[in-house]
Structure 1
Amino acid sequence: MRFDAPVLLYGAGREALSTRAFLAERQPGLEVFVTVDSGSADIPDTAPIAPQDLPAAIAARRFGLVVKSPGVSRYKPVFALMEAAGIAVTSNLNLWGTAFRSGRKVIAITGTKGKSTTATLAHLMLTRSGLDAGLAGNVGLAPLDIAGRHAIVVFELSSYQTADMDFLPDIAALTNLYPEHVDWHGSVERYYEDKLHLIDRDGDFAVALGASAQGNPRIARALRDTRRLLPGLTEAQDEAVAAAVSGSRLRGAHNLGNARLAAQIALGAGGSMKGVLAGIAAFRPLPHRLEEHVLGGMTVVDDSIATTPEATKAALAAYAGRRIALIAGGHERQQDYAELAGLLAGYGVTLLATLPVTGDRLARAAAAASPEIERIEAQDLDRAIAALAARRERFDTLILSPGAPSYNQFRNFEERGDRFVALCRAAFAA
């Protein structure tokens, strides 16, 4: 692979750093530019181009290829300018496909929720089966960082990555499909289209569907042919997986579903049932995904990854029967909270602390559906924890499961989760 013109990195995060290292190794003298919409463009051995200067740089053909980071929407108007100028746009993932795809078995897993857990489980199951497998994408390494080190590569992919993925996997898996990331994609319909691009293509590859994805007409159309589907688990295999999950650190019915899908994938990729069960036993909860802490005798659950109402419902279902204080709310993405509000009391929620902006709508819906639930409308996470600490006797389980992204108050869900745990340690650990 050789680059005949300078390259522009659009974005300066983990994948951009990975791409720069790859370019330096492949073609040391290559001129590389970088642009960011916000924050620092701190990428070694690059020259910055300000976003407002991109149209002039495109017209002058200062670069011949753009490697776009996943967080940068492919629907930004500047990319239409690049297309009109004949400047190709690619990604770290697609560069991996060109450089390393040949001769490897590729498993690509996506879905609105559960994809990280499913991918991690599938990887554990394969390695515990004695197979040479690596994990990359949103969990594990950036695609180019994993390079060609493994015979099998499990990719956990967001809709940002599946949108323009230009190579085929051997196994494609979809956990579920709910509205999300509308701000990046521009519409719910486009989000669905970009997410389903993983399976809605010609080619000889197998497909595995999570329980929530089965029976969805939109997914069925994207599947095209049911003969693509991997064989399901046998009754004996399903019972063995369920028994293993019940004794593991996987909590909630949704995680049982993730384990079933991962087992189907692993077996389809050549893993053994012994490896499947060993992988379940080896699983440790990923950060900010129903991550439990026991503080002062109380269970504190960091589920900051929950950016949709469906994810919050799954979190509450995992702790149904407890006396729950729920913290929810965040960045606005026009999601519907009416159904979630109607389920709160049934799950055992006794206190609801809401955060701007979406928390306002959830609080109003909860007031109408379950007026017996005490509501605290807090301006930020610090004040929510302080208010809950004053009502400590009213709950035994505190869950941060916002049902919305964090961008209005935090840089990302990781920062939000870390802040939540730190505040809870200060308020409840003594």
Structure 2
Amino acid sequence: MRIADLTDRRVAIWGFGREGRTAIRALRQRCGAQHFTLFCSAAEVDAASVFDPALEVIAGEPDAVTLGRFDVVVKSPGISAYKPALLEAQAQGTRFTSGTALWFGENPDARVIAVTGTKGKSTTSALLAHLARSLDVRTALAGNIGLPLLELQGRQAELWVIELSSFQTGEAGPLELGVITSLYEEHLDWHGSRERYVADKLKLADVSRRLLVNALQPALLERTRQHPQRLQFGQPDGWHVTDGVICRGTREIFTAARLAAPGLHNALNACAALAALEAIGLDAPAAAPALASFRPLPHRLQPLGENGGWHWVNDSISTTPLATLAALESLHGRTVTVLVGGHDRGLDWTPFVDAMRSAPAHAIVCMGSNGGRIETALRAAGVVCPIVHVADLASAVAESKVHTPAGGVILLSPGAPSFDQFKDYAERGRRFAELAGFDDASIAGIEGLGIG
């Protein structure tokens, strides 16, 4: 579907976040004074009316009857495609689209690498754009990483690097290369089940002419084995990490310790980016030295520095227990107190508990709405390190200072979303930095968004 297809149709926009506002601008630009309806929260009504006085603004979540009044609804990504009202309206003929889908409809000939994965998709996308630009390729970096695609509508790039969440993979059009960095369970509240989450993630494979996947994930390999042009990273004959060195087959290319983004998983993200460049015919070994100048993304194992005798690391982006384990692995050999817990989505913490039983952190501070559940599981398993349960992040930081010796690391890697206490993971990360004694305003946004 293209934006022109919405002309003279009954159209609603559902959601007034950045994606929703971008969609409104794009529709106004192409469809002029056409009547549009916006569904948003009651708290957003006044702002929406100021943003576009011609909008019909309706507060609250629409039901199936209300949605059924429209030919097309442009939905923001955070609104589940499995809401009963949406499904009922869809069955009755209402079409649902998104800013992402409209961009793909408008740009069928764009050269696109789309990246998804439970973890690693943002860093891999940013690495890809950074490396391509080092080869003087005019590259766009957009999508779920923080810049809605429609904000760049009408602009030109030689290569589009687009991060897609599991909410968006089904909205992409045909593309040159899809990349899947990892596949664990997440966002079960949006998708409804683990199997549906996996199926939605793998929709990227259906629209990708070539597909690049992580060879170190057997389940991912099994689920994508039928793809006719599947490539892999992480295996010995391709881009992989051996003894702290990023290699292409037997050729040593780049020492992983020179990456500012720490951890084996980030070295593998670099392998994914290099393999993707190679897959589309670019000189990946020539781009590899630019890895040394890549600036890590905020809130993703971000070293804040030393203060009060402790080293502070902000990994607020961590929203699964397995992500927390990866963060701890990246700090292997150091004395680490880890802050875990947040919004409870019912994820299984057994892998984290089992890992802590065999190789515990120095101390574990459990917080947030699922903090009690995590504490109970750790104690029941006989984890031997100090375990503390507190209500909120401020209390967690205070307790971490008590339990961490001088020179140790205090790591925020919650393994859970932030919505029990904060608007999003970025707000949580900035608050952590502030509580640690740093200027939260100094935590910069993602470098490289847009076209460069």
Secondary structure of the equivalent of 1:393?
Answer: coil
Q: Which runs of 5+ in 1 are unaligned?
A: none
In structure 1, what residue type is equivalent to 2:223?
A: R
> Aligned partners of 1:51 and 1:241: how far apart in 2?
57
> Aligned partners of 1:208 and 1:38: how far apart in 2?
43
Equivalent residue for 1:78?
85
Taking a change above 3 Å as real, the CA distance of residues 73 and 58 of structure 1, as seen in their structure-2 partners, is closer
Secondary structure of the equivalent of 1:390?
Answer: helix
> Aligned partners of 1:347 and 1:250: how far apart in 2?
23
> Aligned partners of 1:302 and 1:79: how far apart in 2?
37
Find the partner of 2:277 among 266, 277, 287: 266
Equivalent residue for 1:126?
132
1:350 touches 1:395 (CA, 8 Å); kept in 2?
no
2:213 touches 2:230 (CA, 8 Å); kept in 1?
no
Alignment pair present for 1:375 and 2:379: no
1:244 touches 1:280 (CA, 8 Å); kept in 2?
no
> Aligned partners of 2:57 and 2:63: how far apart in 1?
10
In structure 2, what residue type is equivalent to 1:85?
A: Q
Equivalent residue for 1:173?
179
Find the partner of 1:336 among 332, 335, 348: 348
Deviation at 1:365, TM superposition (A): 2.7
Secondary structure of the equivalent of 2:420?
Answer: coil
Find the partner of 2:190 among 178, 184, 187: 184
Q: Which runs of 5+ in 2 are unaligned?
A: 241-246, 440-452
Alignment pair present for 1:16 and 2:23: no
Equivalent residue for 2:254?
243
> Aligned partners of 2:376 and 2:398: how far apart in 1?
22
> Aligned partners of 2:366 and 2:37: how far apart in 1?
42
User: Which aligned pairs between 1:240-319 and structure 2 lie closer than 5 A?
Assistant: 243-294=254-305, 295-319=307-331
- Further displaced range: 153-162 or 333-342: 333-342
In structure 1, what residue type is equivalent to 2:270?
A: A
Q: Report Cα offsets for 1:80-116 as digits up to 9, x if no partner.
A: 23213312100111100111232x2111110000000
Taking a change above 3 Å as real, the CA distance of residues 84 and 345 of structure 1, as seen in their structure-2 partners, is closer
Equivalent residue for 1:210?
214
1:32 touches 1:47 (CA, 8 Å); kept in 2?
yes
- Root mean square deviation of aligned Cα: 2.4
Equivalent residue for 2:60?
51
Deviation at 1:389, TM superposition (A): 2.4
Instruction: Give the strand-richer structure, 1 or 2.
Output: 2
Deviation at 1:320, TM superposition (A): 0.9
- Further displaced range: 120-129 or 392-401: 392-401
In structure 2, what residue type is equivalent to 1:31?
A: H
2:13 touches 2:74 (CA, 8 Å); kept in 1?
yes
> Aligned partners of 1:291 and 1:352: how far apart in 2?
19
Taking a change above 3 Å as real, the CA distance of residues 386 and 99 of structure 1, as seen in their structure-2 partners, is same
What TM-score results when the alignment is normalised by the length of structure 1?
A: 0.90
Equivalent residue for 2:143?
137
Equivalent residue for 2:112?
106
> Aligned partners of 1:382 and 1:174: how far apart in 2?
36
Equivalent residue for 1:224?
226
Deviation at 1:32, TM superposition (A): 1.7
What TM-score results when the alignment is normalised by the length of structure 2?
A: 0.86
> Aligned partners of 1:191 and 1:345: how far apart in 2?
29
> Aligned partners of 2:267 and 2:281: how far apart in 1?
21
> Aligned partners of 1:84 and 1:411: how far apart in 2?
33
> Aligned partners of 1:364 and 1:84: how far apart in 2?
44
> Aligned partners of 2:326 and 2:250: how far apart in 1?
22
In structure 2, what residue type is equivalent to 1:208?
A: L
Q: Report Cα offsets for 1:218-237 as digits up to 9, x if no partner.
A: 55334413543268636853
